[in-house]
Amino acid sequence: MVSRVSRISTEIPDAEIQGIFPPETELSEPDDADWFSYAHISWRLRKLVPDRVPYPVLIGLADAMIVSALIALAAISLWRTSTGYITYIEVRLPLEGDRSPPGSPWPLPKSWERSLTQLTIDPEAFYMSSNANDCEVIAEGLRRYKEMIVKDLKGTKHSTLPVLEGLQVKVNDDCSCGYPHHDSDESYDIEIPSTGAATLSSKSIWGAIRGLETFSQLVYDDKDKNLLINSTKINDAPRYKYRGMLLDTSRHFQPIKTIKKNLDAMAYNKFNTFHWHIIDDQSFPFESKIFPNLTQLGAYSPKHIYTQDNIRDIIQYARLRGIRVVPELDTPGHTQAFGRAFPWLLTPCYGEGPENPYTANHPEHAAAEMLNPMLNDTYRIFKMLVEEIKSVFVDEYIHLGMDEVYYACWKSSPEIKEFMLKNNYTEYYQVEQHYVRKTLQNVKDTGYKYIIWQDPIDNDVVAAPDSIVEVWKDTSLDMKMGKWEEYIKPIARKGYQIILSACWYLNYISYGMDWKKYYECDPRNFDGSEADKDKLTSPTTLKALRSVSMSTDAGWSGEEYQLSQFLMDSVVIMNGIWISRENLLKIFFRHGH
């Protein structure tokens, strides 16, 4: 068993602690213990996972899983108070810094002035109002956050402190009530005076939604369950305009309720883009009405399908939380599920020689791999599918994948060689270039803007200049790869806008403080000019379901583990990419070294 596990101390009564931890679990702390504030995740985690998780979940799991499960259990035990603190068992490795005060917002705002003047909230009289209340995003946001403050904390009014009467939300410029987009203004200001009502001012409804999240984090309770808040001034805006989370529902189908809980966790931490990796080799769960066989033959089962109404419901749920939904339709590779409906659209491989099509040569290639770049039907059918996806997904962007195109299959194919000769192609990257050029133009003709993975650019393929390129490769994922800093520089030099995701693969479980590396990754820390670095407007986090190796027989489901782990990891990650690096280095929140 590894020794550096974390444990929790809170104000939970012993009787309730025993309902979560086994009797032999030591929960007391030495007087000189160092602490780490877990801030706002405590009473939000309660909304995402069940009320009790039995101890037998730990039996039979690998050590790394036990550590992660213990951390999740520790977070669950924070439910009864709005602030909890975590420490390492090994006192020779203390956490540095001071405990953050109760009611501390996370991620740290751009500017935050907090006085010692306390006010209380009367749950019976506290109000939230807005000049943009006719917008359902604002109206629903006011309802949702008032419920968090008044009902979830279940607090009372302090008997002697002055009362904060309410919160007035003012949207000053853009009250349009559409969908969040790539250039949404998410800035906001909060002022909580020593008397009267608080004000939240923003230029758009999306800034108001971010401000409501921050305001809810400023509220805390004391040991007597009095609702408290300090006189405060906040000026805030994100460092990057794209802050995303990828969820892969092709390899691991996720129930709609789980996707919505992920969206809640994203909103708590001010993520604004749900990158939905909905289709891959393993399954095709998107309901296609123009090509029904794609769904019928590609989904795991009829129960593992997202209908178009399901998807619209998820998009609306995300919209109310200021979150975009960007679908990924990965081609020309990762299309085995696509090939179940259109087998002739996959390039046949010749693993056993030029006389034997559709034969594998593992591990070089499968029997049929990647969409066939030679066929007009490839582009016609794909464009029709993109048009259908655009009729469901409202965002201006689509992610087109284009990663991991392996040339071995093409090299084995006499048809590809003939195609190259006909088009005067001498290198296989030119075949990929042929596919990328035609596909991007077809997608552009539908009205979509697009994001692609970095792989074509690495292969010397030239993408359209308005492409956004997502950098995912790093030595932390595969020692055969270079460091992400080495990939990002030439891509920036070529003028592409960039999304960085290489730092934040949450599905890679590692020993020790993996959150520390998430926290310390600086997307601008590469050898390039300021103009090059300004191309990187968009860091994102990647996440895949971690439940495949977890035991569910003991009462701990993949959903519960995934949600609790993502919520905790995202707390750290978002603080690293929300604020300026200068402020991050001065931050007084506790972090381990």
Residues with active-site annotation? 404
Round to whole Å and give the CA distance between 307 and 309.
5
Strand pairing class (227-236; 220-221): antiparallel
* Residue 480 burial (C-beta neighbours within 10 Å; 0-12, 13-18, 19+): exposed
- What is the torsion angle, in degrees rounded to the nearest 10, for the CA atoms of residue 271, residue 273, residue 278 and residue 282? -50
DSSP 453-491: ESHHHHTTPPPPTT-EEEE---TTT-TTS--HHHHHHHH
Write the DSSP symbol of residue 162: P
Angle at alpha carbon of residue 111, lines to 106 and 116, rounded to 5°: 80
Compute the C-alpha angle 210/215/217, nearest 5°.
100
CB 420 within 8 A of CB 432: no
Q: How many residues are there in the chain?
A: 593
Task: Give bridge partners of residue 113 from the DSSP assignment.
Answer: 233
* H or E element in which residue 346 lies: strand 346-348
CB of 146 closer than 8 Å to CB of 178? no
The first and second tokens of residue 339, run together, are: 């090939």
**336 CB contacts (<8 Å, ≥6 apart)?**
281, 282, 346, 366
Q: Give all strands (DSSP E) within 10-82, no chain letters.
A: 36-37
Torsion of CA 389, 390, 391, 394, to 10 degrees: 120
**585 Cβ contact list (under 8 Å, min separation 6):** none
Is residue 457 within 8 A of residue 496, CB to CB? The reply is yes
Distance CA 87, CA 29 (A): 9
CB 434 within 8 A of CB 326: no
